[in-house]
Structure formats: C-alpha cells, structure tokens
Structure 1
C-alpha cells in the first residue's frame, strides 16, 4: 500500500479520462436500474449498534446457499451491481455487502457469522475481491470445524498480508486523517493509459472511495495490512476458483504464484485485461466464470440457483458427476 501525492493522483485521473468520460457508470442505465429495483438493507447483528452491515439481497429467497460478494478496501456493496443484475436474471440468489468497522480479523469473522445466522444461511459461496478475498479465506478457515463456506472465488486476492510491507504501520491507520488514507488506497490504482471501460471503472471506484468514512478506510487498511496469513490445511477441501488479471493489477506476480501454490487444485480463471476491478469493466467475462464455478453445485442442496432455471439435461449430468465423485 504505497502512499502517493495529490499531484500524482490528479495526474493519473487526467491521464486515464477526460471530463466527458466522468461518472459514466454512475449515469448508466444499468446502474440506475439496479439502484431503483434492488433495495439496500441495513442490518445490525452486534451489541454495538454503530456496526451496520449494508447489503443488497436479490434473487429467489428460497435459495439457502447464495453467493455473497465481499468488496475490496475501496469498495462498497454497489461495486458488484453488474453481477447482481446478471446472476439474478439467470435465477441465482446474490448478496452483495459492505462490512462495518472491524479492527481485527476475529471480530470480523464473529460479525460475519452473526450476519449469516441473522439471514438464516447455513452455508454460502463467497466471491471476494482483493481484501474481500482475504477475508473470505480467513472466514472459511475460522469456521472450518463447523463449515459455513461451501466454495470460494478469489479475485485479484492474496493469502498473506506481508506482501504489502505495511504490517509495522497497520496499528497506526486509525490515527490518520481520511485524506491520507484515501491517498494510500489511490496509490494502488492503475496508472498510465487504460482503455475507456477500465477508466470508467477506476472513476466509479474513486467515487465509492469518497463515500467511505475515515473509520471505514482505517479499519479496512488495518485488516488488509495487520500480520496474518491463510492456513491452507484448514480449507483444503473447498472448491476454489482463482480469478486474476494479467495486466495492470495491483497484485504482484509473487502474490499470484503464492495463491496457486496454496490451492493447487483450484480452477483458474484468467482475464487478459481488466486491472484491479474486472467485475466492473469486464463484467461479462467475470459473470461467465462465476457461472462456470457455480454450475458444479447445480442439483445439490448447495445450488445457488433456482432449480427451475436449470435444464433437466444439465441436472442429470450433475447428478451423474456427483455419483461418480462419491464412488471415487
């Protein structure tokens, strides 16, 4: 998490977009349709009533194992609106959420478990982007004795916070003013020329970043950088898809290789382009990979889709595959 100056931030924004490009996603028909049709819910599950979970819960409520999206440091629940619209249109139940202020991983895991209890969800599929992916792994690890996570999709994510070289400053983020925290986050956004869709995605994420309070950013950066790593032996039986981007992602090559080593049996979903936020600027590809990941659970109690939306032929194939895997 390399700090950057305001001048650098302004230069970056000027390089990747003109004034006419500004706010393209915010004024798009899809985003306006999402905001007008999917209600934002606010839920408190902790004794501290200042800890409010914000979430969009769309699709058939009869589905008891939905896919839940966890945002990166700079994200809010809205950043996955294109996944919510597309997947619910295909019959899936989708929950996109924004977490409250939690200062350590145990506190987050306890709060997330309470949220799942409140929503009456025994098991879920998790899609996590960057920090969201790390939190998804840690929650799966924390609940491994009584599993609450059935599968993981990890997008531009990591397994060890030491890659950011900020563990020594993690406990001081709470002291920093909001503008300084935002500069730290912006320092990891793509720089230089990018295509128009990526520029729009960055602009939208900058807008979402501006909507976050100092405590939101400070707590997320603390979770992102405090000394911690994933213990793979506790979650080795989970179905995992690793989704990453070859170009202009903030994630280092070493971090990606470490993820592959951690999950040798994981499916790999590679995108040639898309930067840090492929779910915004390459949503069609991302949604396809999500469907491929979730298809393996069709016809089981862990399906995230309305059975009526799955063909009889596909259900037969899935049942056959399930029986063969049980025989093995």
Structure 2
C-alpha cells in the first residue's frame, strides 16, 4: 500500500505534464436556470452538495484514469462559502418587471448584503422595501466621490440619510486616484462614515489607491495611510472576467495578491465581482460562474457576485455553484511554479493551471480518501 502524500505528489507531476491530454468537466449547478426566463426560480442559498469531477476524454493510461477517479470529492456539505453581495443599482422595486413589492422583498431578502441607491434617491415604495429588508440584509447606500467635483458636505448629508435609515454601511464609488481623488478627501469621508457607526465599501480600480500608503505627488504627497480597516470592504471589480472577456491573468494575479496583503495588514474584507462577457449566453457562462466562485473562495476572499450588468431592472446574476470544498481553508491559492497554483482545505487539494488561460484548468483531489497501490 502506498501512503497518501507520495501518491499525491505523483498526481501533481502527472497533472502538470498532461494538461494537454485531459479536460476537466465540472458539474453544472442543478439550482441554476437561464436567468433570461421570466419564471426563473429565486436563488437557493442552502448549503450545496459536494462537487464532482469527471473526465470529458479519459486518458489512455489506466493509472491516470484511476487517479482522476479517486479525485472525486464526497461527503456532506461543508462550511467554506462566500457571502453574496447583490447590486440592484437600478432600484429595489419592480425588479424583473414584477410590479409586486412583495416579490421584490422575497427576491432580495435572500442575500446577506445588498448595494442600492442612498435613501434620498429612493421612491417611497423603495424606501418601504428597504425598511423591511434591513432586518435581514445588510444594506449599503450608494454614493460616489469622484473627481473632487462634489462637495464633501453634500456627501455627508447623503451619509446622514443612510445612518438615519439604520442601514449597515456606505458604498463609495469612484474612490481612486484615477478619478482625481486624494487621500485627504478619502480619509475625511471614511472618517465621517465611521463616526456614524457605519461600514465603508469602496470601489477603486487600483487597489493601492484605496488601501496603500505610497507617496503620490498629486494625490497623496505625504504618504498618508488609509483609514479603511476592520469591518470595511473593498470591491475587486472585473474579477477574472468583464463584459469584454477574460482579464489579463498576470496583472489580475498581482492584484489578488495585493488584496490578500491588505486584508492581512488592515483587516479589510475583499469582495470579488465578475461580469459575464456580453457575447456569452447565461447557459454558456455556467463554467465561468463556477470558476469565478471557486477561485474567489480559494483566494480567501470574503464576498462574491456575478452579473451581466449592474444597472438593469432584469437583475440577472450567476447562482452559487453546488460546491463543497470542506470546512476550513488551510492554505489559500498560491503559485508553486510558473502557471501552476495550489490551495488546500481540510478535505481537498485544489490544483490550478493557467498554461492555456483562458480558461483556467483545475483538479480537485481528495486527500483523505484511502489509496490503493497502482
């Protein structure tokens, strides 16, 4: 009988030298249906069943087939999961042309977090919906900093209305230096949000603009540190893919590493937001939805959302894939050699390869199952 770890090492060697010969076929989420259908069922947030990995074209060597067969995860659903952050930017009422506030509440109350317009921009009906939701859902009211053209006093008034509505926090868009913002203005508004007992959720394309303390002659000449910290959130937008297609992997990977660095240093939570490419149907997006969720989870992020576009009354989104990776993350996704990455949970090793990116290929290997001699 061979011990588990030597077999796993052999498995990795075979995987990395045979990526051109094998294809991994993930199982589609049974709870997912085409979101363009008017009678689509609401998202099911119950704990999912275990994932199944199979081979689309089994490799000829019997030992390799057996190794893939033993890679099938099994067991009851685990605790590893991501919080969902819904973005009904278009409003809270008449979603999917329901003309039914009760239906809107039933749809939105399933999400633990939600971003919508601040109360001053909501209709009376939308305010009533938000008032019902806030007991179950943590609501962020949307404001935008952007380009120094808006008086901070105006923004503070909007923050006051969010606090008076007893919402959870403030989503601050256009937060980065690319919108000609400064660390001084950023920190003043963040400090004001915190003074109201609210959390900040910020969106800046360059993560250092929001969380770093590097000297920038125009935007942060003294290297002033960010006031964002524990209990606040950063939006990592266009995670893996955007409406135009897949993002550059090397640049994206460096951004993900920075996200985890700031998460460890500052205590800020990271939310991954992926967009469906505009030329791709929702049925064809199932694999991307699965990969987006799984990679965000194995990177150690805290929240996730997948959408086609945010400003849409149809409120289309990717459903959580049926995926059980165990109960605890032992090692987040990290690079082991060029184009090869590994993550480890209490039950599985997850091995990723980007030689053919896009797409990202992966294997889920059950490390606890007994292995027979090959």
More strand by share: 2
TM-score (norm 1): 0.29
Higher relative contact order (CA 8 A, sep 6+): 1
Instruction: Tell which structure's C-alpha radius of gyration is larger.
Output: 2
